[in-house]
Amino acid sequence: MNSTATIVHGTWEPVPAARWEDGFLSGNGHHGALVFGDPNDERVVVTHHTLVRPNGGESARPPRLADRLAGLKDQLLAGELQAAEAFTDGRDLQWVQPFHPAFQVRLRRAPGVEPHRYRRSVDFTTGVVEAECGVWRSRVFVSRADDVIVQHVGGGDLDIALDPRLPGAPHGLAVGDGAVLTPEGALLTLRVRHPGSETAYTGLTLVVAVGGRTTLTPPGVRIAGAESVLLLTRVLRHTGELDTTEHARALRDILLDAEDPYTALLDRHTALHRTAYERVTLDLGGDPAERALPGSQLLSRPDSPALLERLFAAGRYHLLSSSGLNPPRLTGLWTGEWNTAWSGAFTNDANLNLQTASAAAGALPEVTAAHASLIHRQLADWTVNARTVFGARGVVAPAHTDGESGLSYHFSREYPLHLWTAGADWLLKPLVDHDETAGSRDPRTAHALAQVALFYEDFLDRTDEHGHLVVVPSYSPENRPANGSWGAINAAMDLSAVRHALLTAADYHPGTPEADRWRALADRLPPHRINADGALAEWAWPGLDDTYDHRHLSHLYGVWPLDEINPYDTPDLAAAAHRALELRGAENDSAHGHLHHALVAARLRDGERVAHALGQVLKGDFFHDSLMSAHYPNRDVYNADAAHTLPAVLIETLVQSTPDRLVLLPALPAAYPAGQLLGVRTRFAADLDLTWSPHEATAVIRPTRTHRVELRTSSGTRPLDLVAGEDHVLTLGAW
């Protein structure tokens, strides 16, 4: 097996990007940069997590339906299966505010550079996007230390401007620009106000030339004869006018008192970025010749271990780079056009959790912190959802958010997302996983879980003939029964979410009367139902038939990411869940559907099914040359689901853990018989390195707390006693 030192932690191409989707990416979780790498007409598209366009969503509120809820419950329980379709206030579907780019920093060069010996690349360990052509060189990164886009280019003659003309920009944008000379360099400003709104954003770029002559050419600047040029760019979203004086001064202060400002800025950034990125690495023994290929060529070899290595590395890089102020959107942190599919939103009912699925095990607490930041900023809105729609205490999460409002107003008859009550538990699960890997409990997570439990105390007020609580209305994103409607009864996801929320809230509040109440409530929930096909039913209510051909796998929430259903403790339910997975179609071949399928299959120890689901993505032309992904095959619709979820799939095939269990090599596809995974974190607060071959596997466990766990391997089960601070080495026979 090759050393991990030979893995390519980056990708490259021999030509500039012709499409923005192929532009290489850099980001710090606030600002993003999408780089074309054209030596004669360089374009760097600038994005920021806060940039959303007012469309009515900024003032939308959840529907006031609480006084009608009891009647809806009566109707559904009486067999009126379409009753929930009228549970609305009659409004049209209101999308959340759409994410959009800011502008592009454009550098035109005359006379043009001959495109010989060209290469553009991105270094995942530093976040630097570089392009070289002869003597010309450009480097771009987005600083985690200073929250600024840094661009350093070779000298010569350059025309530089901030260009707001990007595809799909709405008519009526009010654009103002300016350019002034300061002692430090030229300062370019661009102010853009959305049509019919006081909401605006301002871009500032400080242009510092070494040598040569700088001349204002409003709205830009011309550089003649410089040795090199350094550009620092920031975006500020605001309402009304903005005095840029203080912000321009802050930009100038970033230059530092350094002989080489670019290197000083890069060193400050790299200390944060590299540390996070390098915590976990995967080596599948890829062929050195394939590892050296450009990404576009490597993508044409879907069976190559080198491709999976690079996509794993790229997924970690892009996930880290898009997480900071917020976790990743549907497009991560990037887009080159204003007409972003599905508003470029945070889609909470599947996509967000899939994209961040590797954060805990993959040792990226930065991603979980971003996820938590979004939740805690919006928790007050979640209480409004619970009160307004359901007349209950506690919280209900929305299915979509633009990052500003956490109110539940995006719904329609076909997508009654305002009825989805499982969302808060689903969204809080990654925070619980993080606490388990850290060996401590965040009081903010404890508070949020208690709010979820309070909601269910109020909401669960109906019982069936056996005395079990009934979840009604109930919604399984984004599916409906074959013989019913979207708002139904006892969706499997809801049953799993209610049980998990109540029991986890109780665990976070030990010894309290509330904990006793929540456990007692959980005990009254009905069991899951197994249907006539032997499959875990998506609705545990008699007479509701399954719809199998669907992209979502919401009903298997109990398998992944929960541990409620597994082959060890609940083998019969696990077999039924596996049968449900076998029967599930791919519907429209969305990337998130395939990789969600793979995650569930890994938990059920089905390596062949994991390999098939991965193959659908690797062979379906889902990846752009940038190694960012698409939502559909043939690179249709720019979307981060596949790029960000793939590392989680690979980790799950190799290492799975709970607070009391370690499972090694549960579902590794046969195509990867040897390899090394270093640095993963387990949910019993230990780091783990795993090396495997066809004949032997070795795991090195580094626990931070003393604990006994159950070890599961293909050869059996045994207890494992771990002592804090003492490395534990396991050698396993052929797996």
Judge contact between 97 and 53, C-beta under 8 A: yes
pLDDT higher than threshold 50 for residue 3: no
Query: How does pLDDT run across 654-692, given as a tens digit for each residue?
Result: 999 999 999 999 999 999 999 999 999 999 999 999 999
Closest C-alpha among 237, 213, 242 to residue 227: 213
**Band (113; pLDDT cuts 50, 70, 90):** low
Q: What CA–CA distance (Å, rounded) separates 525 from 521?
A: 7
Judge contact between 336 and 166, C-beta under 8 A: yes
Closest C-alpha among 349, 304, 274 to residue 550: 349
- Report how far apart, in Å, the C-alpha atoms of 341 and of each of 17, 345, 541 are: 21, 9, 35
Judge contact between 650 and 604, C-beta under 8 A: no
Domain borders along the chain are 4-52+101-278, 304-664, 675-732
Q: How many CB atoms lie within 10 A of CB 513?
A: 8
DSSP-derived letter for residue 549 is B
Q: What CA–CA distance (Å, rounded) separates 592 from 575?
A: 23
As a dihedral over the C-alpha atoms of residue 623, residue 626, residue 630, residue 633, rounded to 10 degrees, the angle is -30
Residue 666: cis peptide before it, omega within 30 degrees of 0: no
pLDDT higher than threshold 70 for residue 515: yes
What is the SS3 assignment for 623?
A: strand
Query: How does pLDDT run across 169-218, given as a tens digit for each residue?
Result: 999 999 999 999 999 999 999 999 999 999 999 999 999 999 999 999 99
What is the gyration radius of the CA atoms in the chain, in angstroms? 26
Sheet strands (E) in 479-635:
630-632
Assign domain 4-52+101-278 to its CATH architecture: Distorted Sandwich (2.70)
Percent of the chain, pLDDT > 90? 95
Dihedral sign of CA atoms 103, 107, 108, 113 in order: negative
According to DSSP, the residues that pair with 728 across neighbouring strands are 701
Which residue stretches of 408-460 are H helix? 423-438, 443-459
Query: How does pLDDT run across 460-512, given as a tens digit for each residue?
Result: 999 999 999 999 999 999 999 999 999 999 999 999 999 999 999 999 999 99
DSSP letters for 449-506: HHHHHHHHHHH---B-TTS-B---SB--TT---TTS-SSBS-BHHHHHHHHHHHHHHH
Query: How does pLDDT run across 582-593, given as a tens digit for each residue?
Result: 999 999 999 999
Core vs surface per residue 191-223: b (16+ CB within 10 A) or e? bbbbeeeebbbbbbbbbbbeebebeeeebbbbb
CATH match for 304-664 among 3.40.640.10, 1.50.10.10, 1.10.3480.10, 3.40.630.10: 1.50.10.10
Give me the pLDDT at residue 272, please. 98
The CA angle 619-678-569, to the nearest 5 degrees, is 80
Judge contact between 27 and 331, C-beta under 8 A: no
Judge contact between 317 and 646, C-beta under 8 A: no
What is the SS3 assignment for 578?
A: helix
pTM greater than 0.95 (yes/no): yes
Per the rule left: phi > 0, alpha: psi between -120 and 50, beta: everything else, 257 is beta
Chain-centroid distance of CA 405 in Å reads 18
Judge contact between 572 and 527, C-beta under 8 A: no
pLDDT higher than threshold 50 for residue 4: no
Query: How does pLDDT run across 388-447, given as a tens digit for each residue?
Result: 999 999 999 999 999 999 999 999 988 999 999 999 999 999 999 999 999 999 999 999
What is the SS3 assignment for 133?
A: strand
Percent of the chain, pLDDT > 70? 98
Query: How does pLDDT run across 451-471, given as a tens digit for each residue?
Result: 999 999 999 999 999 999 999
Q: What CA–CA distance (Å, rounded) separates 660 from 366?
A: 25
What is the SS3 assignment for 93?
A: coil
Judge contact between 248 and 187, C-beta under 8 A: yes
Task: Kindly tell me the burial class for residue 183, based on how many C-beta atoms sit within 10 Å of its own C-beta (0-12, 13-18, 19 or more).
Answer: exposed
- Report how far apart, in Å, the C-alpha atoms of 111 and of each of 16, 133, 157, 218 are: 18, 14, 8, 21
Sort strands 213-217 and 220-239 into parallel, antiparallel or unpaired: antiparallel
Core vs surface per residue 454-481: b (16+ CB within 10 A) or e? bbbbebbebebeeebbbbbbbbbbbbbb
Give me the pLDDT at residue 259, please. 87
DSSP-derived letter for residue 170 is P
pLDDT higher than threshold 70 for residue 252: yes
Calculate the average pLDDT of the chain.
96
Query: How does pLDDT run across 328-387, given as a tens digit for each residue?
Result: 999 999 999 999 999 999 999 999 999 999 999 999 999 999 999 999 999 999 999 999
Closest C-alpha among 621, 602, 622 to residue 612: 602
**Band (526; pLDDT cuts 50, 70, 90):** very high
Give me the pLDDT at residue 1, please. 43
Joined together, the tokens standing for residue 62 give 């959840």
Chain-centroid distance of CA 564 in Å reads 24
- Report how far apart, in Å, the C-alpha atoms of 114 and of each of 37, 102, 222, 228, 670 are: 14, 30, 21, 19, 47
Q: What CA–CA distance (Å, rounded) separates 601 from 44?
A: 40
According to DSSP, the residues that pair with 681 across neighbouring strands are 687
Task: Kindly tell me the burial class for residue 379, based on how many C-beta atoms sit within 10 Å of its own C-beta (0-12, 13-18, 19 or more).
Answer: middle
DSSP-derived letter for residue 358 is T
Q: Count of residues for the chain?
A: 735
